Amino acid sequence: MKEYATFAGGCFWCMVAPFDQLTGISSIRSGYARDKQITSKASALVEKKNDYVEAVQIVWDPSQITFEDLLNLYWQQIDPTDSAGQFSDRGPSYRAIIFYHNEKQKEAALDSKRKLAQSGRFNNPIVTPILPFSSFYEAEEQHQDYYRKNAFHYKLYKEGSGRTDFLTQHWPKDRSYLKKILTPMQYFVTQENGTEPPFTNLYWNNKKQGIYVDLLTGEALFKTSDQLPSHTGWPIFKRPILYGNIKRVPAQHSTALKSKEGDNYLGLLLTEENSEYYQVNSAALRFIPKEKLKEEGYEDFLILF
């Protein structure tokens, strides 16, 4: 059995990726929702500004995930104290709203909102309304899965809007859910600062052209033209694609490397004869071949080849 959940949280580009990682999600579509019945799609277009909001509609399996789980994640994507928009997007069409599809969802949403208010996490009142769902229609295809199709632009937009900094400040990451979506080795490396075995990992001797991105966030990290022959058994690079996407974290006898947005452990910074090298675990990376860059939203990086 499938159920529906409809959430508005500002620009719908930013409301897909978080739910896409969950088990039990059948589909997530970006579109426009409202709590008052509209007669046609055309009338919705005319009345868009005042009568509906950008939203995502999620189809989910209640045998695998609960509505309460979805609510908990929803609150962690928005500013629930803002009734006039979200972050840099202002106006009625960017309001945060929970639309309930039945009385059970309504009660769960009200209870979740009450618990958030009582938690003291925010200094200002929680003002996100909980309204009965009436209608939803999908946005144009260019807006669907925007974070995948236009990963670089999506990252710049999310950071530039102020959303990333706000969420990081108010919701220190609980990463326990990652055990459900990562392999034991991927979790060990990215979350526990572990090191995978040399010479048996995926990319230590990769010869294909392409780029490497953060396994979880999709941040562009390294390109194969900067990958050096490895005598250690792990991928080694001369430089990152964007220095700003890599954090250097001093450790006791070394300097650790982490992805900026994801804060996921990557590997170590090596120094040899006044030169720096980036030694990275394959388990922290996802490789995107040159021929698939456009398909996966990294078209801007084709200029590197």
Catalytic site positions: 11
Strand pairing report for 53-60 and 265-272: unpaired
Q: Is 24 left (phi over 0), alpha (psi -120 to 50) or beta?
A: left
Closest CA to 30 of 135, 139, 134: 139
Strand pairing report for 130-132 and 96-100: parallel
Q: Listing from the earlier edge strand, what are the strands of the sheet with 53-60?
A: 130-132, 96-100, 3-9, 53-60, 25-34, 135-138
Joined tokens for residue 16: 């897909």
Joined tokens for residue 144: 């669907």
Distance CA 188, CA 165 (A): 26
Distance CA 222, CA 234 (A): 14
Closest CA to 237 of 226, 245, 248: 226
Distance CA 303, CA 11 (A): 29
Joined tokens for residue 19: 């739910």
Distance CA 221, CA 204 (A): 15
